[in-house]
Amino acid sequence: MGKEFGNLAQGDNLTGEKGTNCIFVMDHNEIANIPSDRTVTYGRIVIDYRPQKEDPNRVRITAGGNLITDYPGEVTTRTADLTTSKILWNSVLSTENAKFMGIDIKSFYLTAPLDRYEYMKMPLSVFPQHTIEQYDMINKAKNGFVYLEIRKAIYGLPQAGALANKLLKERLAPAGYYEVPHTPGLWRHTTRPIEFSLVVDDFGVKYVGEEHAEHLIETLKNNQYTIAVDWEGDLYCGIKLEWNYKERYLDISMPGYIPKLLQRFEHEKKRKQYSPYPAQPRKFGTAAQEPVKDDTTETVDEPRKKRVQQIVGGLLYYARAVDNTILTALNSIASQQANATEGTEKKIQQLLDYMATNPLAKVRYRASSMILNIHSDASYLSETKARSRIGGYYFLGSVPTANNPIPMNGAIHVQCGILKSVVTSAAEAELGALFENCKEGKVIRLILEELGHPQPPTPVHCDNATAAGIANNNVKKQRSRHWDMRFFWVTDQVQQQFLPRELSRLLYETF
C-alpha cells in the first residue's frame, strides 16, 4: 500500500519507490479552496496477484470515476478488440519472416497531465504508519479523511484513458507511428514493416526484422515511458500464445482461468458434462414449426440472480477469446438473467459442469492467404417467444473453389445472437443471419485492408437455397415482400461485388 501510494505521490521512503507526482496530499487551507464545480470522489483500493509481473503482489489505488459526471471533455478511448488482435496474430503467421512480441508500459495512465485537477479523499486508517509519517497525514487529515489533489491521470478517472492515449499519439507521431483511421487500437508505421494492436498499455507487436522492433522500443524510451519487453510474445491480454514459427501455427489458451472461476463460485460438479447447454428436442413434421415453450419455473431472489449475472460476465471474455462452444449457452442465459428463474439456474449448473469437464480450450491458427471467409446459419423458432437464433463463423483462409474442400482455420470471430424480430419462415431466418453476418463482415474486411491485406469479394457459405437465391438475385421475391426490408441489403452487396457471385449452388452462397 505504501509503495503504491508513493508511486502515485512523491515516492515511498520505505520501499524506495519513485513518485510520479500524480497526487498531492492537501492541507486544511487547500481543502477549503477546492473549486465548487468539482466533486470530491472516493479512493478505491484494488488488490490482485499477477504472477507474470515483476512484482506479482499488486495494490492499486483508483479514483471513483462514477461520481465524476461533469467532465466537459472527451472520455472515449480507442482500444483494440479481440477480433483485431486475432487478425494481427494471423497476419504474423501469414507474413514471411514476421514475428510477434509484447510491450507493456509501466504506469501508462500516470504519464498524462490532467487538463483540470480532480479531487478525492481516503480514510486515514487505510494508510500504513510509515506513509502517514512521511506525508504528515495526521496534521493534514480532516474529519478522519486524507484529501488528495489529482494532477495527472490515475486509474478510475473517466478521462484518464483518453488523455493517456492522446499523449501517446502526440509522442509517437514524429517517429512515424500512427493509428489507422477506422480500426480502434490498430497502429502502423509510415515506412517500416511494423504494426501493433494497443489495449490500454499492452502492445501486441508484429514486426519483420528485429531492428524495426528496436526502433519502437527506443521511441517509447525516448518519450519517458518505462517499459517491459516480452520478446517471446507468449502472453497478451491474459491469453497465452504458443508460437511455432517453423511450422507457422499458433495455439491460444487461458490456462488456470476456469479453475479459478469455478473456485470463486464454489461450484460442485454433479456429473461429467459434454454439452454446455440443453439442446431443444428434435421435432418432425408440423411439430417442427411449434415455438419453444416459455420457462414457467419460479423466479429466484436477488442474490441468486446476481450470481447468474456474475457467472455470465465471468465466462464471456473466456468464451470470446478461446472457447466459442459456450457462446450459445451464454447468449441464451444472458437473455434471461434480468428475470432469472430456477430453470436458468439449471442451465447455469450444466454450463459450469461443462466447464469443469473441459477446463482448457485451445484455438489453433495456421498461416493462410488472409482472405476472410464466413459461414452463416440460423435455427428457426429455437428460442422462447417464437424467436430464431443466428450464428456465424469467421476465419481467414483462401478463396474457395468449386468442388474442393474448404481449408478451415481457427475463428477470428463468432457471431452468436437472437433475431430481434419474429420471422415467419426458416428462409427468412437464414436471410436475417446473412444480413447480420455480412454486416459484421464489412467491418472485418476494413480491419484486414487497414492492416495491409486487401480483400477480394468475400465468400459466404449458406445452406438455405431460398435465402441464397434471394441474396444472389436468382429467385423472384413474390412471397418475401413482407420480410424485414433490411435483410435485402445483402442482395445489394452482391451486386456491388463486396462478395462474389454464386460460386457453387448451395455450397458458397453470397450476399
CB 312 within 8 A of CB 333: yes
CB 100 within 8 A of CB 197: no
Distance CA 180, CA 188 (A): 7
In the chain, domain spans: 2-74+110-152, 82-108+160-246, 257-281+296-357, 368-495
- In degrees rounded to 5, what are phi and psi of residue 131? -75, -40
Distance CA 82, CA 429 (A): 27
- At which residue does the C-alpha cell 495456421 appear? 366
| CATH top class, domain 368-495 | alpha beta
How does pLDDT run along the chain (511 residues), one tens digit per residue?
Answer: 999 999 999 999 999 998 989 999 999 999 999 998 899 999 999 888 877 677 788 888 999 988 888 888 888 888 888 999 999 999 999 999 999 999 998 878 787 899 899 999 999 999 999 999 999 999 999 999 999 999 998 888 888 888 988 999 999 999 999 999 989 999 999 999 999 999 988 899 999 999 999 999 999 999 988 899 999 999 998 899 999 999 999 999 999 999 999 999 988 888 898 999 887 777 676 666 666 677 778 888 899 899 999 999 999 999 999 999 999 889 888 888 888 888 888 999 999 999 999 999 999 999 999 999 998 888 877 777 777 888 899 999 988 877 777 888 999 999 888 877 777 677 778 878 888 888 899 899 999 999 999 998 888 888 776 666 666 666 666 555 556 555 555 666 776 665 544 433 333 334 3
Distance CA 96, CA 92 (A): 8
Closest CA to 330 of 303, 348, 346: 348
Distance CA 321, CA 101 (A): 19
Closest CA to 258 of 341, 347, 321: 321
Q: What local confidence, expressed as pLDDT, does residue 323 receive?
A: 93
Distance CA 448, CA 370 (A): 8
- In degrees rounded to 5, what are phi and psi of residue 347? -65, -40
SS3 state at 282: coil
Q: What local confidence, expressed as pLDDT, does residue 448 receive?
A: 95
- What type of residue is 20? T
CATH code of the region 82-108+160-246: 3.30.70
Distance CA 376, CA 438 (A): 9
Q: What local confidence, expressed as pLDDT, does residue 387 receive?
A: 78
Distance CA 33, CA 147 (A): 12
Distance CA 268, CA 259 (A): 12
Q: Find all residues with CB under 8 Å of 53, minimum gap 6, and list them.
A: none
Q: Show the cell assigned to 499.
A: 462478395
Q: What local confidence, expressed as pLDDT, does residue 406 receive?
A: 80
What is this structure's pTM?
0.84
